[in-house]
Chain A
Amino acid sequence: MTPDATGVDAVIDAVTAVFLVLGALMSLTATIGLLRFPDLMSRMHAATKPQVLGLFLLLAGIGLQMRQWWVWPVLAVAWIFQLLTVPVSAHMVGRAGYRTKHLHPELLSVDELEAVVRRAASEQEEQTEAGAPKDR
């Protein structure tokens, strides 16, 4: 920042430093989670949540250092798009993972979707056996 660091500058720099370090820590957490968690869906938790917070902290750090009001709308838009897209991608990956059985049933204490999927599958089988394979 500017060489003549007044009190306000020092505070802003300190806050920025904290934000950047915490944001980087969030990315590190996502990595640790990816390595440590046992199955795909718990890894998706690790890949989504710390990422959103980490990006927020890093963007806030950028905003504090730029000191110009026009960066804030750009940063806000970037974060809002992140908020909108991350759950969708996590849902798509999780859904595909569940359907293709990339999970460890022994690690699930409750699974209320399994019965539904099985019922749907058996219904589909009956349909195809009955000789009316309309879709697929």
Chain B
Amino acid sequence: MKRVFASLDRHTVHECDYDEPDRYRELLSMKPGKPLIGRGAGVSYVAASFGEGVTSIGMGRFNRILALNAAERWIEVEAGITLGRIFEFLTGRGLCLPVQPGHPHITIGGCIAGNVHGKNQFREGLFGEHVRSLRLFHPLHGMLDLSPEQNTGLFDLTIGGFGLTGLIVSARIALAPLPSAAMQVSHVPVGDLTEAFAKLAELKASHDMVYAWLDLADRSHPGRGYIVAATADPASEPALGTITARDLLTASRIPRLFNDLTLPIINRIYRTMGTRQTGPRRVPLDAILYPAVGKERYFDAFGKPGFIEMQILVPENAVAAFIPRVLALVRKHGCAVALTTLKAFRGKPHLLHYTGAGFSFTIDIGNDPAALRMLAELDEINCELGAATAIMKDSRLSPAVARRQYSGYDAFKQQLLTFDPGHLFTSDLSRRLELHAS
């Protein structure tokens, strides 16, 4: 059947073929032919789960829990299961997934394909670091078991492989003890970007999760905002119910709410509300894990043209040079930045993984020509400073820039070509970034 799919940033829209198998034999009978790509919740910022002329394979029916070993702390699940469903299941058993991105509708398959991160990246790293094994289906190669001991190269390529090695069917994932049912959360005000970077680096030593919400739409004090710092609250009750969240992507059409005039006002109100109560207060764990819940319509507020989310991994040693240059750029172009966030990161670059020792700096900006010009200039600054742009976030990232920013770009392409020379698994993302070219 035909379906119209849009990326979360509304930048890319295509009418595509869609299939949603609900039996293993339907998966296993797939033949190599037309290009395919797996699709979980379909909430990636970029068009990773669809493409023109590509059949998206919805994995939502493969959402079962296959095994749980509480003593050894691992769970085996099918790839279409959502984070929310796992959260509901595990919390009562005193366990949790160590890494979780910000919305409960995201699937495990998506987490693996995107090798995503949470608000504790500086401690727990990327999602893929906790995947012990997985099953992958490719019509040419059949059902394959992958792990650090079996089909090692393909395991490595599939984690953070954007679904281009085949359909992720199931995975065994290491679990962590549930720290507590609620967190003690503080909002620490910061006056500018320099203070935000410094404060974040300081707070990460004493907190389980930290991230900053900053206001770059404020012309007089760009970078004002606050740091959200959370620690476990062992005294909290473990009663956790069902998580309810609205869909991130709907067919709703609202006029563009965010523009140069409204954003400074909206952000000021949001910042004022966020800093009204700074001291520690008890917040349910799911509210801190999934901050996008309840804010789903935020993504509609950029109107039909959508927005661009640019997420940049700024190496620690480049922060001092990065701050004045990004501020000068925003001033020069006069673009109102809707959202600016900052997270602390650890890790080493590998293939196309978004990781490294430093800070993850994110901006959301309305998709218009002025913004695109500004982001193109920011690309150059990033390349100069050794910063990398998150591939799963930025719909306008070019292959040339990705190649300059990721030392593993050519290796990824080469390994993918070896495994899938016919490029059976293809998406709008893989085409844009020329990940298939020989």
Are the chains A and B members of one assembly? Answer: no
Interface residues of B (CB under 8 A from A): none
